[in-house]
Amino acid sequence: MPELPEAETVRRGLEAETVSRGIAGVEATGPRSVRRHPDPGELDRRLRGRPVEAVGRVGKFLTLSAGGEVLVVHLGMSGQLLLSDGRDPRPKHSHVVLVFEDGSELRFVDPRTFGQVFLSEGHEPSRRGRPAELAHLGFDPLTDGLTAARFATRLRARRTMLKALLMDQRFVAGIGNIYSDEILHAAGLRYDHPASALDDDQARALYRHMLRILRASVRLGGSSLSDLQYRDVHGRPGRYQERHLVFAREGMACAGCGGPIVRRAWGGRSTFFCPRCQPAGRAPGPA
């Protein structure tokens, strides 16, 4: 957390508010947040005086292009990018702040410091201009235009269990614990179903459900859990959590069959599913 829909919500907010703004300076006071830069002042030297030209995203990573430089941001578990007019006090844990020429600020706030901010050292031409540091990531479901047939072929070539594969950032970029559970429930497939055991219809339907759920979450601003740590650039929480059907709903009634949602420990995390709607081998319903 945050995952692809939350990162895309932040990207859209940044694109609307920061493109064409000139960067007056960068204040990096959290060494762990800029751990790829032994000298935190490097961000200020390389970005000062450059205008923000574009805001992109690859999976959970955000990119700000500014005069030939690319600033990469990963929100980690608790990171926020918050816009301010510069007159209100900075929140605690504002580890990196971009100060714009008009006095406004973009603040990277990260209490748990698992996120990071760094300047890319180049691009990987074979991955359509992605920063080199992100070249290892798999396809992005909302931007890379992979067809359902191609996804099905890639999926069925893997013997990995479905949830592990959906969360493997080298296979598909941006999906984590929340949306893997929601996507698999919608597709009627268990978390431990081997990808290679899917038939072609199941694999294609899984792809359609993945796109549908990710797009629906973006429309509602992503998911904010009970801690409300995820917020958009204006500090507003998401609303898609109101539509979660299995995630963090242990013991509650399944919307599909009325049976109880079950939580299982899996890979050091909790996974949520409906045993009735998601038995092994069940064909998914219509997307």
State the catalytic residues: 2-3, 60, 269
CA 57 distance to own-chain centroid: 9
Q: Cα dist. 194→139, 161, 197 in Å?
A: 20, 4, 5
Burial status of residue 25 (CB atoms within 10 A of its CB: 0-12, 13-18, 19 or more): middle
| Pairwise CA distance, residues 44 & 57, whole Å | 22
DSSP character at residue 22: B
Residues 6+ apart with CB under 8 A from 261: 246, 249, 250, 251, 252, 253, 254, 272, 273, 274
| Pairwise CA distance, residues 93 & 78, whole Å | 11
The answer to whether 140 and 58 have CB atoms below 8 angstroms apart is yes
| Pairwise CA distance, residues 119 & 127, whole Å | 18
